[in-house]
């Protein structure tokens, strides 16, 4: 029986350069590795004949080696590395000159990079950046961050890859953050009551400024989220009115997980809306999910609430899933003067955020 490629050590190579005409166990080993990689060999087991040579050449072309049909050191090493499949051994950082190599390392790098953990160039060599990416991934998934990528780590990668699916890098990062979160607990949520300072915003019928009303709503959302174990961050104090760029900078600098901006009757069309970032067919999928969850929670209070894709500065300049809410509803002008109503709106927004985190 030829040894299986995974079992054979990478350090022991064929005794000499193998070429057409050679025979013996080293030839048998090379053939077994080629067959395992999907290169057919005719009835010449143990003997290096024409079909072994064309298999070697095809393999060399595929791996970017010069296709001379000979199995020297380099081709032998490539054969060993190509036979490594993810899961067949534990991968970790070894000292310089002894670093682990193989297609399993490359596959690990590919998967980490695809999830936004920077393991550097996908070169199939387990070096320092791969070690860093493995540890960061382990920390984020609640595994011991020891840098040893074994079954637990491979399983976690597999699970996340299936649940998260394909997407742009930024989207993957957002979905990953959400997937790794256990509910809203521990999440930093940036709450932005719009306007403030000299900018009072829209004046509702009883003559109360928008800047004040949205502050009260955001404050209520903040209290409800804090009660659920999240870390709410308000963009301003009740009297202040930083400009919008500054608010986005704060959200980004504080690495908020979500950003929510509150308006009231700012739009030309009447009716409550929750907007997520969208422009020319591109959109934030997670922003949309957040918008839908918040709109759903607001409907009992506000009636039909539209979810819209918009390219608003607050949505474009924040780096986390973000929404802009407009709380205007037909006939709620009177209610806006009442504290319990404002609190209920704020709590509904918090409920939507909790639903988003499942």
Question: Given the rule CB under 5 A, which residues bind Zn ion?
Answer: 194, 201, 263, 266
Shortest spacing between CB 190 and Zn ion, in angstroms: 17
The smaller minimum CB distance to Zn ion, of residues 143 and 265, is found at 265
CA–CA distance, 235 with 193 (Å, rounded to integer): 7
325 close to 294: Cβ distance less than 8 angstroms? yes
193/321 with CB nearer Zn ion: 193
- In angstroms, give the least distance from the CB of 264 to Zn ion: 6
d(CA 31, CA 318) in angstroms, rounded, equals 56
Let me know: does 234 contact 219? Beta carbons within 8 Å. Answer: yes
CB of residue 293 vs Zn ion: minimum separation in angstroms? 22
Question: C-beta of 196: minimal distance to Zn ion in Å?
Answer: 10
Q: Which is nearer to Zn ion, 48 or 215 (CB)?
A: 215
Sorted by sequence, the CB contacts under 8 Å of residue 326 that are 6+ apart come out as 263, 264, 265, 266, 267, 272, 273, 274, 275
Alpha carbons 18 and 35: distance in angstroms, whole number: 17
Contacts of 244 (CB under 8 A, 6+ apart): 313, 314, 317
Query: Nearer to Zn ion by C-beta: 228 or 265?
Result: 265
- Rounded to whole angstroms, the Cα distance separating 180 from 205 reads 44
State which residue, 130 or 261, has the beta carbon closest to Zn ion: 261
Q: Which is nearer to Zn ion, 194 or 353 (CB)?
A: 194
- Shortest Å, Cβ 202 to Zn ion: 6
Residues 6 or more apart from 285 whose CB is under 8 A from it?
Answer: 167, 171, 174, 175
**Residue linked to tokens 């009177």:** 334
State in angstroms the smallest separation of the CB of 211 from Zn ion. Answer: 8
End-to-end CA distance of the chain: 53
């Amino acid at each position: 029986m030829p040894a299986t490629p995974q079992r054979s050590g990478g350090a022991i190579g064929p005794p000499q350069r193998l070429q057409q005409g050679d025979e013996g166990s080293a030839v048998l080993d090379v053939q077994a590795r080629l067959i395992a990689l999907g290169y057919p060999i005719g009835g010449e087991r143990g003997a290096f004949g024409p079909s072994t040579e064309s298999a070697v050449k095809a393999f060399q072309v595929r791996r970017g080696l010069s296709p001379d049909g000979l199995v020297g050191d380099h081709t032998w090493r490539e054969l060993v590395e190509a036979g490594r499949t993810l899961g067949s051994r534990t991968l970790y950082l070894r000292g310089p000159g002894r670093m682990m190599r193989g297609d399993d390392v490359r596959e690990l790098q590919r998967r980490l990079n695809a999830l936004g953990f920077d393991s550097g160039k996908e070169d199939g060599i387990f070096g320092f950046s791969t070690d860093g990416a493995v540890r960061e991934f382990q920390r984020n998934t609640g595994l011991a961050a020891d840098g040893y990528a074994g079954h637990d780590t491979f399983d976690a990668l597999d699970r996340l890859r299936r649940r998260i699916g394909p997407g742009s890098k930024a989207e993957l990062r957002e979905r990953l953050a959400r997937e790794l979160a256990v509910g809203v607990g521990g999440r930093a949520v940036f709450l932005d009551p719009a306007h403030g300072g000299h900018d009072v915003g829209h004046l509702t019928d009883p003559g109360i400024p928008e800047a004040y009303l949205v502050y009260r709503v955001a404050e209520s959302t903040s209290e409800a989220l804090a009660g659920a174990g999240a870390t709410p961050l308000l963009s301003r104090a009740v009297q202040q009115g930083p400009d919008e760029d500054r608010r986005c900078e704060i959200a980004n600098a504080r690495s908020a997980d979500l950003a929510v901006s509150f308006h009231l009757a700012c739009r030309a069309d009447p009716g409550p809306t929750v907007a997520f970032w969208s422009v020319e067919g591109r959109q934030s999928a997670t922003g949309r999910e957040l918008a839908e969850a918040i709109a759903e929670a607001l409907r009992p209070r506000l009636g039909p609430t539209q979810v819209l894709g918009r390219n608003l500065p607050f949505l474009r300049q924040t780096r986390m899933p973000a929404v802009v809410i407009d709380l205007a509803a037909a006939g709620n002008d009177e209610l806006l003067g009442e504290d319990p109503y404002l609190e209920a709106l704020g709590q509904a927004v918090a409920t939507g955020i909790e639903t988003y985190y499942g």
